[in-house]
């Protein structure tokens, strides 16, 4: 069977709304390599969208999950729980930044974590409003779609969205939005749209993911903290893409010197097993009634044991330092390339959360077609790449943090030659 044959079959039975980046069907994967069903080998700079930070098919994680499956695969944590459920919560509440006592809940997907964080904030404050940021991404469920600040493809055709959600601009030096403007926009919302005493939560990503890899400056995060403290609003940091060593710290919030009231976690938490979490201040987290939070598969034993193993690997292999190292290598290579490729508007590296934004050197306009061409050329060249950005003109690089240095260099060689080829046209 070929990739094209399967792709053809896919198009008959899978609705197009579940987009497909590549006509590439995976046979196996190992650390930073993926093989398709035709035997072609790829270097993976996507890691399942920042999920397999600890590498594909990590033996330690697989062994932990296999041992768990042999004991039991599901009992429902809300009915008859298990030690790993408590142990993972102990570890995450300890690792979450800030001195306050913390509690956790577990769910299955990132969107569910965000939904539940909003539920808890509403239960705690008795308020309804939520403020999110333009360009932000929080998921595809109804509430999280409403919070997401990017229309196509996430919101187009899916309205109406939950009410009482407002969007403010996220600071973005490259596109001329200052921290002051972003913070002023919150005051404008309070003046024009909703009084602060009706706002339950402000949710932000420490580095916007789908929105294009823009980092929240420290003064912005601290400004948000002040606004929330002043008005009794819950501050939620969405660390679903940034968490688990990706940016060179366990959580990107650690760069910001603030303690959020709640954090949402998923993706890298368990190296590919579906589990997510909300971790927050105990008094906030305890606001919902018993039974109000959770789900049948929430905190699955497979996810919990995988999560515990991921945390051990991050610590023992110092994946935070590895992420920093990857960011430095990529930054140096891409900065050199930028000197001869004028279409590279900006290179952003936050540890191993790395992006290249393509803009027209004369007009500054986004180069979507070129970005698309680079992504599609990647498959032919044995590389897996992802795009992002509200204008779809950003390539994001998210290799496993365990990538071997020579594989990283080889992947960058491929990327560099594709960019050179595509920018010459
Ligand atoms: C910052 C952020 N929040 C929420 C989500 C939604 O997570 P999921 O796709 O697991 O529902 C994502 C997924 O990309 C994300 O990057």
Contacts of 103 (CB under 8 A, 6+ apart): 89, 93, 279, 280, 281, 282, 285, 286
Asked whether the predicted pLDDT for residue 322 surpasses 90, the reply is yes
If you average pLDDT over every residue of the chain, what do you get?
97
Q: Could you give the 3-state DSSP secondary structure of residue 14?
A: coil
Residue with tokens 């105990």: 282
Asked whether the predicted pLDDT for residue 127 surpasses 90, the reply is yes
Q: Best substitution site from 265, 267, 272, 396 to test ligand 1's pocket, by max atoms within 8 Å of Cβ?
A: 267
213 touches ligand 1 (CB under 6 Å): no
Pick the closest to residue 251 from 203, 323, 328, 326 (CA basis). 323
Asked whether the predicted pLDDT for residue 399 surpasses 80, the reply is yes
- Please compute the mean of the pLDDT values over residues 414-425 and round it to a whole number: 93
Q: How confident is the model at residue 21 (pLDDT cuts 50, 70, 90)?
A: confident
**Each residue of 395-410: b (16+ CB within 10 Å) or e?**
bbbbbbbbbeeebbeb
Domains of the chain in sequence order: 3-57+318-424 (3.90.1150.10), 72-316 (3.40.640.10)
pLDDT tens for each residue of 26-77? 999 999 999 999 999 999 999 999 999 999 999 999 999 999 999 999 999 9
132 touches ligand 1 (CB under 6 Å): no
pLDDT tens for each residue of 334-356? 999 999 999 999 999 999 999 99
Provide the residue count of the chain. 425
Q: Whose CA is nearest to atom 4 of ligand 1?
A: 138
pLDDT value at position 339?
96
211 touches ligand 1 (CB under 6 Å): no
pLDDT value at position 424?
83
The upper half-sphere exposure of residue 22, i.e. CA atoms within 13 Å in the direction of its Cβ, equals 25
| Ligand 1 geometric centre to CA of 155 (Å) | 14
Q: How confident is the model at residue 175 (pLDDT cuts 50, 70, 90)?
A: very high
51 touches ligand 1 (CB under 6 Å): no
CB 126 within 8 Å of CB 154? no
Q: Whose CA is nearest to atom 3 of ligand 1?
A: 138
pLDDT value at position 321?
98
pLDDT tens for each residue of 242-282? 999 999 999 999 999 999 999 999 999 999 999 999 999 99
Q: Best substitution site from 53, 213, 241, 272 to test ligand 1's pocket, by max atoms within 8 Å of Cβ?
A: 241
Q: Is 288 exposed, middle or buried, given 0-12, 13-18 or 19+ CB atoms closer than 10 A?
A: middle
pLDDT value at position 425?
75
Pick the closest to residue 295 from 424, 69, 107 (CA basis). 107
- Please compute the mean of the pLDDT values over residues 379-385 and round it to a whole number: 96
- Please compute the mean of the pLDDT values over residues 381-397 and round it to a whole number: 96
Pick the closest to residue 270 from 135, 407, 113 (CA basis). 113
Give the CA angle between residues 231, 236, 237 to the nearest 5°: 135
Residue with tokens 């900065």: 335
Q: Best substitution site from 139, 144, 236, 268 to test ligand 1's pocket, by max atoms within 8 Å of Cβ?
A: 139
């Amino acid at each position: 069977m070929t990739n094209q044959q399967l792709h053809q079959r896919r198009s008959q039975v899978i609705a197009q709304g579940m987009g497909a980046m590549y006509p590439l069907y995976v046979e196996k994967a190992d650390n930073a390599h993926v093989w398709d069903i035709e035997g072609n080998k790829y270097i993976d700079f996507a890691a399942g969208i920042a999920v397999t930070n600890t590498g594909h098919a990590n033996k330690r994680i697989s062994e932990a999950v296999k041992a768990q499956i042999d004991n039991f695969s599901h009992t429902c944590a809300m009915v008859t729980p298990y030690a790993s459920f408590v142990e993972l919560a102990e570890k995450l509440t300890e690792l979450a930044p800030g001195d306050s006592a913390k509690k956790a809940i577990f769910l299955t997907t990132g969107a569910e974590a965000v939904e539940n964080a909003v539920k808890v904030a509403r239960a705690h404050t008795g308020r309804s409003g939520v403020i999110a940021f333009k360009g932000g991404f929080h998921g595809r469920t109804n509430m999280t779609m409403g919070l997401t600040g990017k229309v196509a493809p996430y919101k187009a055709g899916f309205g109406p969205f939950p009410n009482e959600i407002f969007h403010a601009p996220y600071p973005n030096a490259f596109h001329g939005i200052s921290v002051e403007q972003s913070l002023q926009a919150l005051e404008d919302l309070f003046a024009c749209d909703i009084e602060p005493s009706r706002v339950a939560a402000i949710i932000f990503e420490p580095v916007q993911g789908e929105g294009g890899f823009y980092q929240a400056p420290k003064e912005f995060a601290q400004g948000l903290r002040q606004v929330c403290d002043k008005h009794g609003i819950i501050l939620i940091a969405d660390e679903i893409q940034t968490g688990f060593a990706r940016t060179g710290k366990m959580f990107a919030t650690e760069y910001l010197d603030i303690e959020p009231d709640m954090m949402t976690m998923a993706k890298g938490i368990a190296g590919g097993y579906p589990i997510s979490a909300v971790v927050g201040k105990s008094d906030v987290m305890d606001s919902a009634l018993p039974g109000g939070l959770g789900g049948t598969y929430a905190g699955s034993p497979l996810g919990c044991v995988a999560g515990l193993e991921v945390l051990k690997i991050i610590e023992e292999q110092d994946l935070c330092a590895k992420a920093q190292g990857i960011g430095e290598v990529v930054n140096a290579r891409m900065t050199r390339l930028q000197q001869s490729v004028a279409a590279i508007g900006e290179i952003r590296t936050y540890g191993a959360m790395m992006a290249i934004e393509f803009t027209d050197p004369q007009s500054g306009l986004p180069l979507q077609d070129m970005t698309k061409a680079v992504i599609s050329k990647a498959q032919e060249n044995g590389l897996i790449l992802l795009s992002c950005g509200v204008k779809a003109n950003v390539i994001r690089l998210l290799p496993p943090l365990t990538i071997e240095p020579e594989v990283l260099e080889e992947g960058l060689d491929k990327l560099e030659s594709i960019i050179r080829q595509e920018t010459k046209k």
